[in-house]
Amino acid sequence: MESRLRVLLAVRADFYGRCAEHAGPASALRDANALVGPMSPTELRAAIVQPAASDGLSVERALTSRPVDEVADAPGGLPLLSHVLLETWRRRRGKTMTLAGYEAAGGL
């Protein structure tokens, strides 16, 4: 019986070549890969607001605008955005993620 287990491996473009140095990852990536381009401003806003909303938090409107402007068209910006949003969450005010918390975290 064939297993229904599937594994998703996400590799940043700047590390893709390193996968070719090892037989296992090179084999796995050879015939099963999908190139994911940059996110649109709408997708970036959703990536900021939706996870917060699913945890019952709100996000100041100013907090959605600044990171979207800073990350749009910035190669490698998404991992930085992820990190700064975690740090912003740690600096939230009650149940609200704020621009002040984002700036206190250092922004992008």
pLDDT digits (tens, 9 = 90+) for 18-68: 988 999 888 888 877 777 778 888 999 998 999 889 989 899 988 988 888
Tell me how far apart the 2 most distant CA atoms of the chain are, in Å: 55
For the chain, the domains span: 1-36, 41-104
CA atoms within 13 A on the CB side of 17: 1
Chain segment 72-102, per-residue pLDDT in tens: 877 778 888 889 999 999 999 899 999 999 9
The type of residue at 59 is: V
The stretches of the chain forming alpha helices (DSSP H) are 13-19, 23-30, 41-54, 61-71, 77-90, 99-104
Put simply, whether the predicted model's pTM sits higher than 0.75 gets the answer no
Do residues 11 and 29 lie in contact, with contact meaning Cβ atoms separated by under 8 Å?
Answer: yes
